[in-house]
Amino acid sequence: MRTYDALLPYAFKRFSLMKTLRTGLPTAKYYLTRKPLPESEKPALFTMNILPPMMTVWYHFAQKYLGDRVDTTIFDSSGLLDPKEFPNARVQKFINLYAATKSEEFLHHIAKNRKIGWLCDDDMFFLSSEAVDVVERELAIPNTASVSFRPRRWWEYEIDGKRYPVSSSYCIALNREIFVDKEKLTLGPENGNTHPAIIDGGKSPSRYDTFDKANEILLEKDYRCFVIPEHEQEKYVTGFSGMSGGVILLHYFKKPEQVLDYFTTPSKKCWQGTMLYGLLASLLAICTIQELYEQIKGKPYPLHSLPSRAELEKVKADHMQYMRKDHSFDWVYEASEKLRDNI
């Protein structure tokens, strides 16, 4: 029997292999043509998805606030999306490869005829039409390589004695002419990150996540990597993070009781780490997604193994005393409230 921490990597691999039965052939057909978007001044917006109801909610907000000012591409790695539900987007079934790999495919091929390639995780939701104005305005400034709406908040770059925020790839618009054509950069993660943490007691990250290394190279070459000021970020987007782990648990288990057992079986000491905390936060966020989906569609999405919000809240209440003091759930509740207010 796998321990709680060993089960998740196994479940990820299992999910990807099982979904390949739905996405493998469409992916192969896509590679035969790699048909790009037509030439246009519109930003090309990209997201990817493994939880269908979250895509419904993301698309609702994108349509409400961005509308036809962007051309949207969705990589469906669950193989379960119905393109008819997303009439103003290009939906492509695609094998569940690394996020960096899928995003690079978009930037290099689908968006090849556009200056602006805009990457946005499907758990980052737009709240204002002015987001497009910001992207177009900032990327029109010479030497600007990127515009980030949600930077990483626990470490910074230190380059030649100066500190710079980490743009991240959560929601970032890129100048393709710089990123792809001129500098020929990649989004891939790498080891060897020794930049400083900016939270109390934090360790150096040790690893560059998606876009982090490219971000560093751009800064070293004196490109402008614009980050929306922190006090303005929630005006344009809100959302969650680390959702994929919760999605994988719901796919792996068949009943809510099994999910609850996953959280109650580990020792209390295990709750001092980040895994159980992050998974519980993601499931609470999925409860919000389910509620919003039902508000949009008039019926809940069949997530048979998702425990009720009350059951998850009880797990949280029973284990909060064992968690680290910096492990707050406030950000989940704040984002949930903002989404309910703006749907």
**pLDDT value for 152:** 96
Tell me the β-bridge partners of 75. 48, 92
In tens, the pLDDT along 314-337 reads 999 999 999 999 899 999 999 999
Residue 203 has pLDDT above 90, yes or no: no
Q: With residue 18 as reference, give the H or E element that holds it.
A: helix 4-33
**pLDDT value for 204:** 81
In the chain, list all ranges with CATH 3.90.550.10: 21-238
In tens, the pLDDT along 67-107 reads 999 999 999 999 999 999 999 999 999 999 999 999 999 99
In tens, the pLDDT along 269-303 reads 999 999 999 999 999 999 999 999 999 999 999 99
Type of residue found at 115: K
In the DSSP assignment, the letter for residue 77 is S
Quick one: which of 145, 135, 141 has its CA closest to 228? 135
In tens, the pLDDT along 110-141 reads 999 999 999 999 999 999 999 999 999 999 99
In tens, the pLDDT along 31-61 reads 999 999 999 999 999 999 999 999 999 999 9
In tens, the pLDDT along 19-34 reads 999 999 999 999 999 9
User: How many other CB atoms sit within 10 Å of the CB of residue 274?
Assistant: 13
Residue 182 has pLDDT above 70, yes or no: yes
Residue 199 has pLDDT above 90, yes or no: no
Q: Are 74 and 105 in contact (CB under 8 A)?
A: no
Residue 65 has pLDDT above 70, yes or no: yes
Question: Average pLDDT in the 177-203 region?
Answer: 92
In tens, the pLDDT along 153-167 reads 999 999 999 999 999
**pLDDT value for 200:** 63
**Is 21-238 assigned to CATH 3.90.550.10?**
yes
**pLDDT value for 201:** 64
In tens, the pLDDT along 225-244 reads 999 999 999 999 999 999 99
Residue 34, classified by CB atoms within 10 Å of its CB into exposed (0-12), middle (13-18) or buried (19+), is: exposed
Crossing angle of helices 256-264 and 243-252, rounded to 10°: 120
Residue 202 has pLDDT above 80, yes or no: no
**Separation CA 230–CA 324 (nearest Å):** 25
